[in-house]
Amino acid sequence: MLPVKNFQESRWPAQRAEEVGGERLRRDILSGRHGCAACPVACGHWATLPGGEVKKAPEFETIWSFGPNLDSSDLPSIVRAGALCDDLGLDTISTGSTIAAAAELRDMGKMEEGPGWDDPAGTLDTIKKIGMMEGGGRMLAGGARRLALERGAPEASMDSKGLELPGYDPRGAKGMGLAYATSNRGGCHMKGYTVLHELTGKAERLSSVGKAKLVMGVQDETAFVDSLVLCRFVQQLLGPEILVDLYNGATGSDIRREDMMEMGGRIFNLERLYNERAGVLEDTLPGRLLSGMVRDGPSKGNVVELPEMLAEYRTLRGWAPSGEILEETLRRYGISR
């Protein structure tokens, strides 16, 4: 389920994967840790590159975005690309995915300039141009969807609701496909991280059965946790019971886990209502994920069965088949249309 070359493939040769994997990163490049004040996780790392250059170390999404997604296994360049995005205020997932869309558009004959696949120097130059709105970077600065539409090939944009998808191919983890499609801010893994269940055996990754309930539950818990201003690592480490205890301790309340889920559901539906008013109800995925089967590897032959999962999900949510929130659902949460 590793997206390669703008989700054209879902598998990379093992040798190339090892060149950018966590083991090599830790062995050859990592040189220290940092994190939020007093946090025992300290998820941030420093990287010391050849020549002594110190940069913020990339995490999985950044390595994927400028690595397999661009068919590059040049780890030092990937580190530099992530750090450059931080300096310029660019999101690494969206930036790498937009560059990948541009590379595919070049293959299609829709673009003449810009970096191609496995072009670390061209990628770094393009990131600078995007951040400074210079030259060809101006075309990419609006994101993958706008670029692909302007070039007459919308199928080259791997996005949901205009936000570029992260580094998990949902054809290999069906819950992530439904989570991407229904996320209120588009193709985001942070609002419905079902892959944690699907890669640990808690849920069958290649099955669409039960994924509507799983996605809804993860989204509602996550909405509650985000309202506490806690990070995803803390959410995963502590679990819902301790999160409820933290809330009760901070507020003097006496809520239970089911109350937590109800509060999260209200937040999620309130966000959905905002989108509804803005005319954003497109709960879908790029066509290649819905009809283009994985061609090789453990997920071979799979697509995302989104229509079936989405119909069940909307029923569970108390939404109409077309996606609007039903009036009785709004009344349940005390929300006025």
What domains sit in the chain, N to C, each tagged with a CATH number?
A: 14-159 (1.10.569.10), 168-333 (1.10.599.10)
Res. 234 pLDDT band, cuts 50 70 90: confident
The mean pLDDT of 256-277, rounded to a whole number, is 97
Mean pLDDT score, 232-261 = 94
Q: Are 293 and 301 in contact (CB under 8 A)?
A: yes
Q: For the stretch 50-64, what's the b/e string if a residue is b when 16 or more beta carbons lie within 10 angstroms of its beta carbon?
A: eeeeebbbbeebbbb
Indicate whether 29 pLDDT > 90: yes
Confidence of residue 337 (pLDDT cuts 50, 70, 90): confident
Does 48 score more than 90 pLDDT? yes
Mean of pLDDT over the chain: 96
pLDDT of 135 reads 92
pLDDT of residue 237: 87
Q: Which of 6-15, 225-234, 270-279, 319-328 has the lowest mean pLDDT?
A: 225-234
Q: What is the pLDDT of residue 114?
A: 82
Q: List, for residues 171-190, the tens digit of each pLDDT value.
A: 999 999 999 999 999 999 99
High-pLDDT (> 90) share of the chain, %: 93
Q: Is the pLDDT of residue 38 over 90?
A: no
* Closest by Cα among 49, 68, 66 to 8: 68
Confidence of residue 263 (pLDDT cuts 50, 70, 90): very high
For residue 22, what pLDDT band results from cuts at 50, 70 and 90? very high
- Taking the complete model, does pTM exceed 0.75, yes or no? yes
Q: What is the mean pLDDT of residues 235-258?
A: 94
pLDDT band at 40 (very low <50, low <70, confident <90, very high): confident
The yes-or-no verdict on residue 39 having pLDDT over 90 is: no
pLDDT of residue 10: 93
What's the pLDDT band for 253 if we cut at 50, 70, 90? Answer: very high
Res 115: pLDDT: 87
